[in-house]
Structure 1
Amino acid sequence: MLAARASDDGALADAATGQSEGGVRWAAFRQGLVTNVLNPKSIVFLVALLPQFLTDRSTWADKSVLGAVTVLMVFVWFCAVSLAVGAFQRVFRRPGARRALNIATGLVLIALALVIVLTG
């Protein structure tokens, strides 16, 4: 992130591929869905977290409701994040803002790494 190419202008994929806005949105939705469904960290997190809310007497209906509520909450969260990013889309497209975001993110990751190294 700190070493991002200076020539990276942050152009969107739809400009390069010539896809329609709806096609780009559908492709982005599919990519995000597949990425999150196949993410092993989220699977491990859910396997570790969800059983705490179930008892030995929990029925399949209880488990189904818990799973549906979890999926709904994750869906709502990602919708909120995508709407927030969409609202700031013009800001994120500016090269200066993109560079500042990359630098800030890189510095946070370096700081976290230093904390881990120095406390371990």
Structure 2
Amino acid sequence: MTWSGLLAFLLASLVLAMVPGVGTAMLLKQSVRGGRRGALATVAGMEVGVAVWAVAAGLGLSVLLVASRLAYEGLRIAGVCVLLWFGVKALFGRHKPDVDAPTAGSGFRAGLLVNLANPKLAVFAISFLPQFVPAGSARWTLLLLAGLWVVVDTVWYLGIVVLLSAILRWLKRSEIRRRLERASGAVLIALGIRLAVSNSM
């Protein structure tokens, strides 16, 4: 792989990470509820999920998901349920900072679940990574790119954590906290509905 190709891959990975989606909404929700510790745990869980799909794509395992409509639909339904669950909980739940503040473990699980149950992420890994691998390259090249993708994604979300931490005191105000958590819940529900009505692989 050439240096220009590697640079193009890194820039593409950064742009893709910057596009707001499920990860951003979940990170905002967990930051408001659990502070920096909760946000970092959520990022860790999200990136483990990204790594699973990236490595699966590198090994060719995710192709099975695309080839099997039943497997894809099962994962899509699971993804819808996960997003709606977190969204409804954030939108309609009782918000008591001293009672329901999440642990680092719950933040990790939340981040992991939203990415593991995201079929679009798996399909994207299959279509995105191979474009940057020269024909005839060894499989380790694809695995290396998968690792770099995870690193770029992690750096971006850690940057968001730093930004959120800088305004955390403002975010922790009870009224602001309730509004932000409900807003993130509404976004998660909307993303879940969009995934539910999407039939394309």
Q: TM tier, shorter chain?
A: 0.5 to 0.7
- State the Cα deviation string for residues 3-48 of structure 1 (Å, max 9, x = none): x67xx78544xx22577xxxx1232123212322332222222222
Instruction: Please report the TM-score for the alignment, with normalisation by the length of structure 2.
Output: 0.38
CA distance in 2, matches of 1:100, 1:53: 38
Q: Give the unaligned 5+ runs of structure 1.
A: 110-120
User: Secondary structure, in 3 states, of the residue corresponding to 1:16?
Assistant: coil
Alignment of 1:1-120 (within 5 A): 10-12=95-97, 15-17=98-100, 24-94=103-173, 95-96=175-176, 99=179, 102=183
CA distance in 2, matches of 1:71, 1:37: 14
User: Secondary structure, in 3 states, of the residue corresponding to 2:163?
Assistant: helix
Q: Greater CA radius of gyration, 1 or 2?
A: 1
- State the Cα deviation string for residues 24-78 of structure 1 (Å, max 9, x = none): 1232123212322332222222222111101221111211111110111122222
Q: What's the RMSD between the two structures over aligned residues?
A: 3.3
Which aligned runs of 4 or more in structure 1 are off by greater than 6 angstroms?
none
Larger RCO of the pair (alpha carbons < 8 Å, separation 6+):
1
Q: Give the unaligned 5+ runs of structure 2.
A: 1-90, 191-201
Judging by fraction of residues, say which structure has more helix: 2
Identity of aligned residues (%): 26
Q: Is the 8 A contact 2:115 2:121 kept in 1?
A: yes
Q: Identify if the C-alpha distance between structure 1 residues 46 and 18 changes in structure 2 by more than 3 Å, giving closer, same or farther.
A: closer
Q: Which residue of 1 aligns with 2:33?
A: none
Residue 96 of structure 1 deviates from its aligned partner by 4.5
